[in-house]
Amino acid sequence: MASETKQAIEAVCRIEWARLIAGLVPIVRDVGLAEELAQDAVVIALERWPESGVPEKPGAWLMATAKHRAIDLFRRNERLRVKVEELGHALEWQDIDDIDLDAIDHGIDDPLLRLIFVACHPVLSAEARIALTLRLLGGLSTEEIARAFLVPVPTVAQRIVRAKRSLTVARVPFEVPGKSERPERLTSVLDVLYLIFNEGYTATAGDDWIRPSLCEEALRLGRTLAELMPDEPEVHGLVALMEIQASRLRARTGASGEPILLLDQDRSRWDYLLIRRGLAALARARAAGPLGPYTVQAAIAACHAVARTAEETDWEQIVALYDVLNEIAPSPIVALNRAVAVGMAFGPAEALPLVDDLGREPALTAYHLLPSIRGDLLHKLGRRDEARADFERAASLTQNARERAFLLERARACLS
């Protein structure tokens, strides 16, 4: 038997990690304890597998090992035993080695799905949900999460400890929420995945591989979720949105790392495998039920993805989709995006009154993009003096030196 490296063993354990925890929670009735036991099992694997080789069914091996650890722990620790008894749960030790991981049924009662819902439970803060999801489902270490979010390791460790405690204290049941609760709880899950994705997608600084890899982590979790909840349109919608956005990752950066706007991107550098996957997920979302906000955003992203050139973009379709989005998830930012699309589809004269209306929106009064967009529309209409005033106003609102210079340059150009 060839000896196994630490990395190889860790990779095997990480494949099993989420299912291992998910399988342990119903037995020990505590997410935190389940995670500790899973960690113990991995440590034992790291000790033994270099000699013995990776067992044929590593998942079952880890599970059995974790359960034996649980027995030891309960025997030695009166407090834990009392706690478990309090919960009215009888542990059936004799069955411990018989559980076949492969036999755990998939579907709506899948333990992995329950674990996802628990990690994204509303009793937890957004940061805690993100950290716990990456730790329990993605198998990232505390150090990796800290590096990904540019926060100190102890902060993340604290967050995870507190999150696990909150779940225990709140006695959050280990289950997939019932029909009435599910839409809201699912939204929380999807939002967590999208936050993780965006953290990677907008990663700026970076010789650190881990931040962009958050995109992959979110995508993988999204695909897993889509497999577990195939009837939920918004799950496919989110996956579609992430696949299509990820398809542009390599096109949105220039040679020296500078960002390239969507309409200026070299479309031959887009990843057409991901686009195709995104379009397929979008089709599934649309077939599965009514349009939700993620599906509509995915549909907008798809309009760009299927246009062979920027000029061929179906802006009328994009406007129609923003209309839908504005209906189901209204916000001033959505309305502003819609106005931009209207300008592209029907000309600046159509868009200008919309932007003017939005100028009265309290949330947007100090938002520099509003006068910047208005200035652009006015410039296209040949109303240069007004355009100049708007560009100058936008320049005064932005905190960003480069952007201010750019806007002032546009203002100057209106004079000539």
Partner 1 sequence: MRFLVMVKGNDESEAGVLPEPELFEEMGRFNEELVQAGVLLEAAGLLPSGQGGVRLSYSGRDRTVTDGPFTEAKELVAGFWIWQVRSKDEAIAWAKRIPFEGGEVELRRIAEAEDFGEAMSPQVEEQWERLRRQPNVGQ
Q: What are φ and ψ of residue 25, in 5° steps?
A: -55, -45
Q: Is 236 in the site for partner 1 (CB under 8 A)?
A: no
Residue from 65, 133, 142, 245 binding partner 1 (CB under 8 A): 245
Q: Contact, 42 vs 13, CB < 8 A?
A: yes
Q: Is 262 in the site for partner 1 (CB under 8 A)?
A: yes
- One-letter amino acid of 83: K
* CB atoms inside a 10 Å sphere around CB 135: 25
Q: Is 288 helix (H, G, I), strand (E, B) or coil?
A: helix
Distance between CA 238 and CA 334 in Å, rounded?
17
Span from 32-40, 201-209, 377-385, 386-394 in contact with partner 1 (CB under 8 A): 201-209
Residue from 122, 154, 173, 206 binding partner 1 (CB under 8 A): 206
Q: How far is the CB of 213 from partner 1 (least distance, A)?
A: 7
Residue from 155, 253, 317, 326 binding partner 1 (CB under 8 A): 253
* CB atoms inside a 10 Å sphere around CB 64: 18
Q: Is 127 in the site for partner 1 (CB under 8 A)?
A: no
Span from 31-39, 114-122, 269-277, 380-388 in contact with partner 1 (CB under 8 A): 269-277
Closer of 155 and 253 to partner 1 (Cβ): 253
x-or-dash string of contact with partner 1, 391-410, rule CB under 8 A: ---------xxxx-------
Cα dihedral sign for 330, 334, 335, 338?
negative
Q: Is 203 in the site for partner 1 (CB under 8 A)?
A: yes
Closer of 55 and 289 to partner 1 (Cβ): 55
Q: How far is the CB of 85 from partner 1 (least distance, A)?
A: 35
Distance between CA 205 and CA 6 in Å, rounded?
30
Residue from 207, 268, 309, 382 binding partner 1 (CB under 8 A): 207
Span from 167-175, 249-257, 279-287, 408-416 in contact with partner 1 (CB under 8 A): 249-257
Q: Is 205 in the site for partner 1 (CB under 8 A)?
A: yes
Q: Is 306 in the site for partner 1 (CB under 8 A)?
A: no
Q: How far is the CB of 73 from partner 1 (least distance, A)?
A: 29
Q: Is 347 in the site for partner 1 (CB under 8 A)?
A: no
Q: How far is the CB of 13 from partner 1 (least distance, A)?
A: 9
Distance between CA 341 and CA 351 in Å, rounded?
8
Distance between CA 51 and CA 33 in Å, rounded?
28
Q: Is 268 in the site for partner 1 (CB under 8 A)?
A: no
What DSSP assignment string belongs to 75-121?
HH-HHHHHHHHHTT----GGGGGG--GGGS--STT-HHHHHHHHHT-
How far, CA to CA in Å, does 69 sit from each of 12, 28, 37, 165, 336?
20, 11, 7, 21, 57
Q: Which two tokens stand for residue 313?
A: 């973009």
Q: Is 259 in the site for partner 1 (CB under 8 A)?
A: yes
Q: In the chain, how long is the greatest CA-to-CA distance?
A: 87
Residue from 50, 55, 177, 212 binding partner 1 (CB under 8 A): 212
Span from 155-163, 167-175, 209-217, 385-393 in contact with partner 1 (CB under 8 A): 209-217
Exposed e or buried b per residue across 311-328, where buried means at least 16 C-beta atoms within 10 angstroms of its C-beta:
eebebebbbbbbeebeee
Q: Is 340 in the site for partner 1 (CB under 8 A)?
A: yes
Where is 160: in which H helix or E strand? Answer: helix 153-169
Residue from 127, 191, 227, 386 binding partner 1 (CB under 8 A): 227
Q: Contact, 27 vs 67, CB < 8 A?
A: yes
Nearest alpha-carbon partner for 233 in 193, 289, 281, 186: 289
Q: Is 204 in the site for partner 1 (CB under 8 A)?
A: yes
Distance between CA 182 and CA 13 in Å, rounded?
31
Q: Is 258 in the site for partner 1 (CB under 8 A)?
A: yes
Q: How far is the CB of 87 from partner 1 (least distance, A)?
A: 30
Q: How far is the CB of 276 from partner 1 (least distance, A)?
A: 9
Q: Contact, 24 vs 111, CB < 8 A?
A: no
Closer of 169 and 255 to partner 1 (Cβ): 255
**Cβ within 8 Å of residue 37, ≥6 positions away:** 24, 28, 66, 67, 69, 70, 73
Q: 66 to 105, contacts with partner 1 by CB under 8 A? A: none
Which residues of this chain interact with partner 1, rule CB under 8 A?
5, 7-8, 10-12, 14-15, 54, 106, 202-207, 209, 211-213, 216, 219-224, 227-228, 245, 249-250, 253, 256-259, 261-263, 273-274, 277, 301, 304, 333, 336-337, 340-341, 369, 373, 400-403
